[in-house]
Amino acid sequence: MHNQKIALVTGATRGIGLETVRQLAAQGVHTLLAGRDRSRAVEAALALQAQALPVEAIALDVTDAAGIAAAAREVEQRHGRLDILVNNAGIFRDDFDKAPSAQALDAWRETFDTNLFGVIATTQAFLPLLRKSAAGRIVNLSSELASLTLQNDPGSAFYDFKMPAYNASKTAVNAWTVQLAHELRDTPIKVNAVDPGSVKTDMNEHGELDIATGARGSVRMALLDDTGPTGSFTHQGEVLPW
């Protein structure tokens, strides 16, 4: 077990998170499937265990400070370290029928609570365990909609997708990725932001990519070797503009 990598994926009871767990476990990584609802996390983990995959359930709500701390203690007691943290949990609260200036402030707060502050809080809690890894990896789920360059380019396919709370929360995740990668630049820990693409999930019914393809980018960055990048923003291995 000591040589087996330990990963934790947040928001992993469905969609891209669940598929990321499956793909990491299929590569031999002991993967903690984290979800807000422990019973749903256990149910999802049991289904993967039935396929002989090394998956373990853990309760973790990224907006609950006490719950995050409890999860970090649990991982420390069971494994003593963490090699991979995939900050996958995310929500979408913008109203498609409203202009950017008309989006409810509560929707902004709720979006940032999960998509940004939840990522930061979870990372802060698990960083001491990642520092115990020989080669820690932090993967932050972002979106091409986070790119200010593409958002401001009339020629971009995403130019008219103005969902300000969601988009800005992911832009902020990119900014956090850059700050943290800089802090950890002289350590074995790499920090990268990944856009899974427009994936067909419960959160995005109009997605174009299948979930397996969407999860691949996160898995690639989670399993980076020592020569891989840090502080990057990519989609399927291609660098995206900030």
**Catalytic residue at 159?**
no
Length of the chain in terms of residues written = 242
Nearest to 91 by CA among 166, 200, 37: 166
Strand partners, 57: 33
Rounded to the nearest angstrom, the gap between the alpha carbon of residue 101 and the centroid of all alpha carbons in its chain is 28
Measured in degrees and rounded to the nearest 5, phi and psi for residue 41 equal: -65, -40
Task: With residue 37 as reference, give the H or E element that holds it.
Answer: none
Contact 196, 215 (CB under 8 A): yes
Number of other residues whose CB lies within 10 A of the CB of residue 121: 18
- Which of 112, 126, 166, 176 is an active site residue? 166
Catalytic residues: 166
